[in-house]
Amino acid sequence: MTPDPDGLHACFEAVLREAPDAEAVIDGDLRLTFGEWWRRSGLAAAALDALGVRAGDVVCLVLPSSADFAVCHLAAMRLNAIVTAANPRLGRTEIAHIIGRTAPAVIVTTDPAALPDPAAGPPAVRPGDLMAADLPMTGAVPAAPGDPAVIVWTTGTTGTPKGAWFDHRSLQIIARGMGPLSAPGDRKMMPVPFAHAAFMTRVYDQLVHRSALILTPPVWTARSMLDLLVRERVTVGQGVPTQWEKLVALDGLAAADLSHLRLASTGAGRVPPPLVHAMRERLGCPVVVRYASTEVPLCFGTALDDPVELVSSTVGRALGDVEARIVGDGGRPLGPGAPGRVHLRSRGSMRGYWREPGLTAATISADGWIATGDIGSLDAAGNLTLVGRADDAYIRGGYNVHPSEVEPVLLAHPRILRAAVVGAPAPVIGEIGVAFAVPAGTGPLPSAEEVRAWCRGRIAGYKAPDLVVWVDDLPVNATYKIDRAELLRRAAREAARAASHRPVT
């Protein structure tokens, strides 16, 4: 087989010739150069080979984000094995589902005894044992562009995780279309788990740009984020809006040297205009918003010079080779400004759901369009405005309500810092809206009726939340997205409690 000139081995060999001492992974006090990353991954690959791992086999990493994860990920890819990963924070049932669906040849984990049914499962090995074996690496196993490379699992804010698989060509396409998010020599902060698509699909991006990935501490705080930005001279800061909100409110931020920060990237939630202004002013760099998913990791983004109004109300324009269209009922394409289902097409997208042919066929059309499950609209310039997830909507008295219609109105209230809205079962009208709100400022909190009145003055009355629950913070999942499954459970309890106390109007 002719080696792929854009393949993993060719890309890494170019880096080893040109920049072997450039930093690749910073994990606390451990700093791996590209040369050391390659050396350690060779040891791990030789040990995996000795355990019987062959091209096309699956290697499952049940590891926290770490240098060990990066080493074992690269080791499996050097054998042309398929890498998948389960975040150790997942429940045993979810990890068992991932193992059962992928049937890995080997599991790499720091704690084999914690695996579901360890005695009956595939062999499990610790990452340190792989590198300590010190076996010779007998040779590279080149991959063809269409060979499966990774299987990435949806984060599962609702439902069972699904395994989106990507071939090597997909990962190469992603690397070419990153836009302003990647530049030569970047030092990128990595706040999301390595089991997420943000790491699993980006190895080629890292090689092309010779960029360093800087892990955040296991427990996130605004102070630790600032310390990391300064100490490691981060060029690309990444975080969800709530993280940036806490950072820009820190005492002492003005004294921090952030001159190396060339952009702050955010997503996974709406970014209010005051936050965009605050980030630009206090961080001293452009702010970009990204829209992506496990299935389409390279998707939409705003530009460095987009106005605040565009950054706060849209997710920008398609990146790389991504095509987008908005589809109405019956698959009818919709014109500019009309809301409908967002469909995307890209060679950098997933090739399908692993061992789920029915689900794949229901999600990807014969000509390659992926139905995302998001509701949105495109303007004449190609900017995408998201309305929300189709399955996040609830039906109140026969009317569809999308949380993303209500949440910006709540966030505009001077006493509300953060908010999320979900539906809950209710007699007679089917569902009601329950708002969970984090208070801003000090003093008495507004009553639910006052909040409802605020909303009714700005949106249709039926969209105003029926219940307002004040909380210290909103629950998030492993990728810092709002955990709507948890909010749905809480909302059902709150609605049941409230049902006997007041009528729904």
Q: Which residue has the higher pLDDT, 182 or 501?
A: 182
Give the whole-angstrom CA distance, residue 157 versus residue 269.
14
Residue 157 has a pLDDT of: 46
Domains annotated for the chain, with CATH where assigned, are 1-8+31-180+193-204 (3.40.50.12780), 393-499 (3.30.300.30)
Tokens of 385: 């405005």
Residue 116, pLDDT above cutoff 90: no
Give the whole-angstrom CA distance, residue 70 versus residue 193.
11
- Residue-wise pLDDT for 328-363, tens only, equals 988 899 999 999 999 999 999 999 999 999 999 999
Using CB atoms within 10 A of its CB, is residue 499 exposed (0-12), middle (13-18) or buried (19+)?
middle
Contact 438, 448 (CB under 8 A): no
Q: Which residue has the higher pLDDT, 331 or 110?
A: 110
Residues paired with residue 26 on neighbouring β-strands, in sequence order: 31, 214
Residue 241 has a pLDDT of: 85
- Residue-wise pLDDT for 197-231, tens only, equals 989 999 999 999 999 999 998 888 999 999 999 99
Q: For the chain, how far is it from start to end, CA to CA, in angstroms? A: 70
Contact 118, 126 (CB under 8 A): no
Tokens of 174: 């992603």
- Quick one: angle between helices 34-50 and 67-78, nearest 10? 60
Token match 């991504």: residue? 322
Strands across the sheet containing 370-378: 323-327, 340-345, 370-378, 384-389
| pTM to 2 decimal places | 0.85
Q: Is 440 helix (H, G, I), strand (E, B) or coil?
A: coil
Residue 400 has a pLDDT of: 83
Residue 323 has φ and ψ, to the nearest 5°, of -110, 150
Q: Please state, for a pLDDT cut of 90, what percent of the chain lies above it.
A: 72
Q: Is 259 helix (H, G, I), strand (E, B) or coil?
A: coil
Lowest-pLDDT range of 115-124, 213-222, 277-286, 436-445? 115-124
Residue 446 has a pLDDT of: 95
Residue 165 has φ and ψ, to the nearest 5°, of -110, 145
Give the whole-angstrom CA distance, residue 94 versus residue 90.
6
Give the whole-angstrom CA distance, residue 143 versus residue 77.
9
For residue 234, what are the contacts with CB-CB under 8 A and spacing of at least 6? 187, 188, 189, 214, 228, 260, 261
Residue type, 420: A
For the residues 297-318, what does the mean pLDDT come to?
93
Give the whole-angstrom CA distance, residue 318 versus residue 334.
17
State the pLDDT confidence band at 476, using cuts at 50, 70 and 90: confident
Give the whole-angstrom CA distance, residue 245 versus residue 227.
16
What letters, b where the CB count within 10 A reaches 16 and e where it falls short, cover 60-95? bbbbbbbbbbbbbbbbbbbbbbbbbbbbbebeeebb
Give the whole-angstrom CA distance, residue 425 versus residue 150.
39
Give the whole-angstrom CA distance, residue 32 versus residue 108.
20
